[in-house]
Structure 1
């Protein structure tokens, strides 16, 4: 089984920087996970009107209202088969936003053959599903943009939707991955974002099973 990112990108997968090919090439068949640790140089949010929405999202591990600089960061990407037999990759991001407070931003991703794209389930219960469009930049970095969004199987109102762009690349000078995330809304403008860097270790899931903590509390059969 090839990785969901290889399926979504097709031949363009080979244009990724070798470090990104390794990172996004994980699959349950290869029994390899990618765990990254680093620092986000800055985490920010939009105007005050966005804060209640971010607080609400934090209850399901979707975004959060804190801001700051030099925030310790961890990302856990585990490939496994979910209860429906789908090849799945976890994207569990943990931010140490204060001395005694951590925030999580959780997602699980599957490939949808019908749409030819990755479906990104956000949060702990997979209520919120987003189609992802992937491209490779000229230096071998990966750009992910969100498309159609659904909540509990229904199309999500555009007025409430957040449009996200994730840009990840390898910095040869820093010998690390770099990432920048930006979420906007058509009417509110900038909503949330972060940027920083991390390094990665690869875990053999044959000897270290996929942690229950990276799996959602509920899985959604719809793609």
Structure 2
């Protein structure tokens, strides 16, 4: 059973759109997709040094724009403690530049949350909460976050956190998935956001 099915529970998972069920049922092997970001935007200009640092860790980047091609790879792994993990590799193609937004997720059965380690090497940790909307859409929201410094993880106060809100849906008439992501800080507003559409690459 996938970590996302465990997080949602059987009843909620079955209320997802069937194509979203197929996408988030991944518990072995891999899933590949590609599409186009209608818009990618970043925050205040003075955050650019932070975004540039993020490129070293495959987490965020300073570029923004419209109609940006991207690919997605979800690959199942087994952690050192035997837990099921899903590696997320998101690549955005800005002309000759490749920019990444990577993460490693697993399920905490005691706390009923998805654990999300962001970047490579990981520099940020976030609890993730999942819920299903009225139309079978999937909503994901970040909760408690920690700064990762090697073996040390330092809890971040709310005013330093980047609160993420994600909505993923399936568009029947386009036979495609839609994705909306916004990361916002209580003090500076939007840090990072993107919106686009993608399709599963069945041949990979």
Give the TM-score normalised by structure 2: 0.93
Alpha-carbon distance in structure 2 between the residues aligned to 1:141 and 1:3: 18
Q: CA deviation at 1:203?
A: 7.0
Tell me what 1:143 maps to: 139
Alpha-carbon distance in structure 2 between the residues aligned to 1:73 and 1:5: 23
The partner residue of 2:51 within 54, 72, 96 is: 54
The number of residue pairs the alignment matches comes to 199
Tell me what 1:116 maps to: 112
Instruction: Note if contact 2:57-2:122 (Cα within 8 Å) is conserved in structure 1.
Output: no
Which deviations, in whole Å up to 9, do the C-alpha atoms of 1:38-96 show, x marking residues without a partner? 00011011221222222222211111110111101101011221233110111110000
Q: CA deviation at 1:165?
A: 0.7
Tell me what 1:214 maps to: none
Where 1:190 maps in the other structure, the secondary structure is strand
Alpha-carbon distance in structure 1 between the residues aligned to 2:80 and 2:103: 16
Tell me what 2:6 maps to: 7
Instruction: Note if contact 1:34-1:203 (Cα within 8 Å) is conserved in structure 2.
Output: no
The 4+ residue runs of structure 1 with deviation greater than 6 A are none
Tell me what 2:86 maps to: 89
Alpha-carbon distance in structure 2 between the residues aligned to 1:51 and 1:126: 20
The partner residue of 1:106 within 102, 106, 110 is: 102
Tell me what 2:62 maps to: 65
Tell me what 2:188 maps to: 188
Tell me what 2:26 maps to: 26
Cα RMSD for the two superposed structures? 1.4
Give the TM-score normalised by structure 1: 0.85
Consecutive unaligned residues of structure 2, counting only runs of 5 or more, are none
Which deviations, in whole Å up to 9, do the C-alpha atoms of 1:157-194 show, x marking residues without a partner? 33321011111110011110000110110000111111
